[in-house]
Structure 1
């Protein structure tokens, strides 16, 4: 297992482009595969999670050719997928397994969805229960992977209120709804990322989104299109925080996805006093994009608004690092969802912060962090196989007067394969040690 050894950086500068958005990369493969015609994708994320989705659809008979970040899909139409010869291994990807559970529940053949040890611990009842209400036959031990899906079921439409703010559940049910008779309607009590709705429209499928309700009628068709994947804001967040806490920083992140359902990290950092400016705002392939300039700032602790929690759910590990370097106390509540990610991100981050001398109080649905100076730790930070934990504590090194050691960083490749290269390019000091 590889480790990070990260040390202090005083000056961060430069302009970089982080890899493509993971959420959009996943969805482009799924929808391109069941569309009619040839879909061309540029900027596809070459991380292990996205490649797991790509390989799964190749296993189901879809002709997909990839050259680096460029992908060509010869779509097989809504009913052209074929039964895979073996279980589909989705690695560490929660997005893949939850969205594909919806899509595959409507196919004529049986499938089994499996993954690594981390994925096998993640809760799937949240998709199994509503899919079962639609007529799907899907099971898993203790409602966890591996998931067995019995094909040949006739799905009926569903009106469903999301019990938690989750784009994965919403997207899962919308993909199942493509095959259901009648109109499937998802009701949200909080805004979640809307990449599935936007991309379905890009493929020519009618989707209605009004006042927290998303609906579509089943049994239509998708028409192939070209997709340019913007840079991932979740990956960009690590550099936003690094520049915000550095002694002297001025960096620009190029062509980042600023979809309004994803910009919670920018809003939270700005509330903390971060110096973040959006430049050259534009629309590409139905998504809002901008260059993000970030300079050093004196951050202050805040109470994070509940409305921003679902809009920054993946970025909280590195936001906790920002809070550790802020003056005063930062309070997060309403984020119970963090406990069922690749790790229990509340507890794992709290343990790591404690080992770095940062006072914190773990809450059932969040954390209180008192900003201060990092103190030399006696032990290695444990990532618990979670890529965002690994990268977050690497960012902490920007403000550390000693080396920070982080174990088991192999999973960084799932979402951000060139993280170390780009970090060092702007002036960070991270070494990956095998």
Structure 2
């Protein structure tokens, strides 16, 4: 049985984190609508409140009155790598001492990828894993070249640059998610972006105080991707996701779907908060195997578990390379995706920086565990729409990024009884 209908997925996770954190240090009251209220983003909201920002929440919007005097605090970032890494940038140039910690999973994730570049601005941060202790210091702008594409590292350095004296420049060899540099001008910050042969340079002059603004957050394409995959894989399926973020650094998954043979219908294009949005419709499709590698990877890193599932139903051998970053996500996503998909019948093997999948392979019933990973839980649930004898344990973890996931699934199932 396929799925049919229309879904409006929750607000974009990356944009919500940034809106909360920037609003917390902006002058005035920032008004945010359609924010994602999953566990990770709520960690960022609680963090700015702990630092002295004033937060008011209604059903329609969140209002954050920012503060410059960031109070000393111990902040629990939960399972949110974005919260701890971006906060590290904000707090490095503040006046107090701060402790950033998180749950057991977060404490296993490496933080030196952020603490090392922040040190080039003069940051004093103890710890290579959480908990981190940050001693606020006067910072001096610098030029930092990213060794690998990383939106979190880029964002941490740029946010530290707001508090630094002089010019801060980030050079990225491959474009990563650019929500920070799109959103900072909304908060009144002047950025210059220069595209060069050797990389993309983003510059800002500090110190600078952000100014409050209004932000309407579009739907998260990483959440919409689960319904795109479900529409492709299901029999007689057609699903439209409304008002989805179409940032070019986030549409790699749609491009790969087209490569695999899917027909992607994009309508109702418009702009909000400096970002393009649209409605996206997909339907049942036969898939062909592809190679996914290189510059494609940063724009679809979160969708690779889904791509692995799609590849099990595609004709031929799919190869995913250059995705070693998956090994330091909520879990080692390469190992967990490979081991769980094997349990449900996939012909899949792990490589050092990706995986190889042969298809098409019928899925078989099994009990599988989310391993505490929200994206793995949702991917396995989509697999269960194809093979109802798949039972997913630990599916409550979807609260991290998509609290209404199972409600929306039920609606789509009822539309096509």
User: Normalising to structure 2: TM-score of the pair?
Assistant: 0.96
C-alpha deviations, 1:53-74, integer Å up to 9, x for none? 1111111111110113510111
CA distance in structure 1 between the partners assigned to 2:193 and 2:409 by the alignment: 38
Q: Which of 219, 243, 253 is matched with 2:231 structurally?
A: 243
Which residue number in structure 1 is paired with residue 187 of structure 2?
Answer: 203
1:415 pairs with 401, 406, 410, which one? 401
Residue in structure 2 matched with residue 56 of structure 1 by the alignment: 47
Q: In the alignment, what sits opposite 2:58?
A: 67
Question: 1:326 and 1:417 mapped to 2: Cα distance?
Answer: 30
CA distance in 1, matches of 2:298, 2:414: 29
Q: 2:67 aligned with 1:82, yes or no?
A: no
The answer for the alignment partner of 2:86 in structure 1 is: 99
Q: Is the 8 A contact 1:170 1:186 kept in 2?
A: yes
Q: How do residues 107-122 of structure 1 correspond to structure 2 at under 5 angstroms?
A: 107-122=94-109
Aligned to 1:16: 7
Structure 2 residue 266 is matched with structure 1 residue 282: no
- C-alpha distance after superposition, 1:42-94 (max 9, x if no partner): 00111011111111111111111011351011122xx332223xx20111100
Shift of residue 428 of structure 1? 8.0
CA distance in 2, matches of 1:83, 1:36: 19
**Secondary structure at the counterpart of residue 315 of structure 1:** helix
How many residues get paired?
A: 411
Q: Quote the Cα distance in structure 2 between the aligned partners of 1:277 and 1:298.
A: 16
Deviations 1:208-265 (A, max 9, x none): 1111111111112211110000000000010110101111111110000000111111
Return the alpha-carbon distance in structure 1 between the equivalents of residues 101 and 362 of structure 2.
Answer: 40
CA distance in 2: counterparts of 1:26 and 1:227, whole angstroms: 12
What residue in structure 1 maps to residue 213 of structure 2? 225
Map Cα deviations across residues 145-198 of structure 1 (whole Å, 9 max, x no partner).
Answer: 1111112x1111121111121100000000001111111111111111111001
TM-score, normalised to structure 1, is 0.92
- Structure 1 residue ranges, 4+ long, deviating more than 2 angstroms after superposition: 372-378
Correspondence 1:150 to 2:135: yes
Tell whether the 8 Å contact from 2:94 to 2:138 is kept in structure 1 after alignment: no
Matched, 1:133 2:124: no
Contact map agreement 1:46 1:68 (CA 8 A) in 2: no
- Deviation of the 1:121 alpha carbon: 0.6
Q: Distance in 1 between matches of 2:246 and 2:390?
A: 31
CA distance in 1, matches of 2:240, 2:7: 6
Query: What residue in structure 2 maps to residue 313 of structure 1?
Result: 301
Counterpart-to-counterpart distance in 2, 1:188 and 1:145: 26
Structure 1: any 5+ residue segments left out of the alignment? 1-9, 430-434
